[in-house]
Amino acid sequence: MQLIPCPWCGPREEAEFHYGGQAHVAHPQDPAALSDEEWARYVFFRDNPSGPFAERWSHSAGCRRWFNAVRDTRTHDLLAVYRVGEPMPEVAP
């Protein structure tokens, strides 16, 4: 089992967390003005890199707070964890 370091609670087992998708995806300013294609792109299309990837996570069985993590998609290693609103830390690829 992998340990995920919650920024508030410290390292906890991965079973306590829920994945929330790609981090830093801005909500459209005026969703009603989007075409169906633009809305579909916002809702369904996400990056799928090989390497470091910023993700949102929720400590659902703990403090219930959301935070961001940079995870290497090739190895599943967490490279950095940071609170929502903080800048993404530099990580080596």
DSSP notation for 23-85: SS-PPPS-GGGS-HHHHHHHHH-----SSEEEEEEE-TTTT--EEEEEEETTT--EEEEEETT
pLDDT digits (tens, 9 = 90+) for 40-74: 999 999 999 999 999 999 999 999 999 999 999 99
Mean pLDDT of 35-40: 96
Q: Is the pLDDT of residue 93 over 70?
A: no
pLDDT band at 79 (very low <50, low <70, confident <90, very high): very high
> What domains are there in the chain, each with its CATH number?
3-83 (3.30.2270.10)
| Residue carrying structure tokens 């989007």 | 34
Mean pLDDT of 28-35: 95
Q: Residue 69's Cα: distance from chain center in Å? A: 6
Q: Is the pLDDT of residue 8 over 70?
A: yes
